[in-house]
Amino acid sequence: MSVKRVGILTAGGLAPCLSSAIGALIESYTEKAPEIEILCYRSGYKGLLLGDSFLVTPTVRENAKVLHQHGGSPIGNSRVKLTNVADCVKRGLVKEGQDPLHVAAEQLKTDCVDVLHTIGGDDTNTTAADLAAFLAQNDYDLTVVGLPKTIDNDVIPIKQSLGAWTAAEQGARFFENVVAEHNANPRMLIVHEVMGRNCGWLTAATANKYRERLDALKFLPETGLSRERKEVHGVYIPEMHFELQQEADRLRAILDEIDCVNIFISEGAGVDTIVQEMESRGEEVPKDAFGHYKLDAVNPGKWFGEQFAKMIGAEKVLVQKSGYYSRAARANEQDIELIARCANKAVDCALAGDSGVVGQDEDRGDELRAIEFERIKGGKPFDIGSTWFGNLLREIKQPKGDVVETQHA
């Protein structure tokens, strides 16, 4: 197949890779196949359904490197599932009686798109797979090449998703300022809620990065400026079971000794328990278009803060969420290098007509390749047996809990 025009869209939540990934794709096409036109859809699948797009100009090609200097997605995101017909109709993206897959397919035909690049998580890329399959059944040859975006780093079987390293680094920087709030109140509990619906990787990695930043600082204990007061005292993630009372006793001893406690909690930790508690009170817990509980309604950080505060005798609780700060950051150098490698491979795959999600395939010796869509799943659990995580728990003197059996999303 001769490729004449490619489409690009970003979808789902933000991650510190979207702007850079768009830039890297434009740069790679400009280098390898400058004759190919590039079309960007605004606001993800919403733009595709509504036919809202623009062509990349020569000026944009010449200045694509600027996109590496920014976070967010300049072309915009949305959360749209093409197979959720009712939601698409409700939001005015298609008319009653229309099939969103058919509408999207017809738009791609109208736009003469030969290759569609989707930059997003498992929901974004599996939606793209649904679209490609629909088009194949209707005699339209479309190559779909996705890039794996999620700060949770939980896409099966991809070793490292784009933007996750940056998100951990930015979360650590965020807490570096927040932690000083313990100076404002005695017996203070600070809860750092980190994004991660099903996977605790980001919470653990953020705590680890934060402690590396502490390693680079000097302290003056005689004035009250001690590492112990800025230390991470607990890390709680979906994959690890812990005894609430046992942890409360441990944290109370820390609070009694140094007058503050700092804990890192994944936003997905304890969600089932909290939802059950809310529903037992007759509360309806809202879900998004993909059937996930809306975590801002569940609010795990607040729940854990309230539970621990009572049990450890904290006088004040401060819950701070780093998610929006972290996910909208520009990509760091480590991520930019990974993004560039993945984008180059994505263009090679596009030109060869090889569909899939480009990433390091853990089942194939970490080979960088277009991974088959049917093998892409969300909800990859973080390995709590990782050496670095074990070292983290040992250094903060937190008992290692049992593994919680998780189901793939």
13 is in an annotated binding site: yes
Q: Is the dihedral of CA 267, 271, 273, 279 positive or negative?
A: positive
d(CA 3, CA 12) in angstroms, rounded, equals 27
Give Cβ neighbours of residue 218 (< 8 Å, ≥ 6 apart).
Answer: none
- 154 among the known binding-site residues? no
Residue 1 known to bind ligand: no
Task: Work out the burial of residue 325: count CB atoms within 10 Å of its CB; fewer than 13 is exposed, 13-18 middle, 19 or more buried.
Answer: middle
> Is 74:67 a contact under the CB 8 Å cutoff?
yes
Q: Is 152 annotated for ligand binding?
A: yes
Q: Is 195 annotated as a binding residue?
A: yes
What string of DSSP letters covers 177-233? HHGGGGGGSSSEEEEEEE--SS--HHHHHHHHHHHHHHHT---BGGGTB-HHHHS--
Q: CB–CB of 196/267 below 8 Å?
A: yes
* Annotated binding-site residue? 378: no
DSSP 66: G
Strand 53-55 and strand 37-41: the pairing is antiparallel
The answer to the question of whether 327 is labelled as a binding residue is yes
Is 41 a known ligand-binding residue?
no
Q: Is 152 a catalytic residue?
A: yes
Q: In what order do the strands lie in the sheet with 367-371?
A: 53-55, 37-41, 5-10, 115-120, 143-148, 356-361, 367-371
The answer to the question of whether 282 is labelled as a binding residue is: no
Report whether 44 belongs to an annotated binding site.
no
DSSP secondary structure string for all residues of 218-287: --BGGGTB-HHHHS--EEE-TTB---HHHHHHHHHHHHHHHSEEEEEEETTTTHHHHHHHHHHTT----B
325 annotated to a ligand binding site: yes
Q: Is 231 annotated as a binding residue?
A: no
The reply, when asked if residue 151 is annotated as ligand binding, is: yes
Catalytic: which of 87, 152, 154, 335? Answer: 152
What Rg do the C-alpha atoms of the chain give, in angstroms?
A: 23
Q: Which residues are annotated as a binding site for Mg(2+)?
A: 122
Catalytic residues: 152
Q: Which residues are annotated as a binding site for substrate?
A: 150-152, 195-197, 267, 324-327
Q: Which residues are annotated as a binding site for diphosphate?
A: 13
Q: Which residues are annotated as a binding site?
A: 13, 122, 150-152, 195-197, 267, 324-327
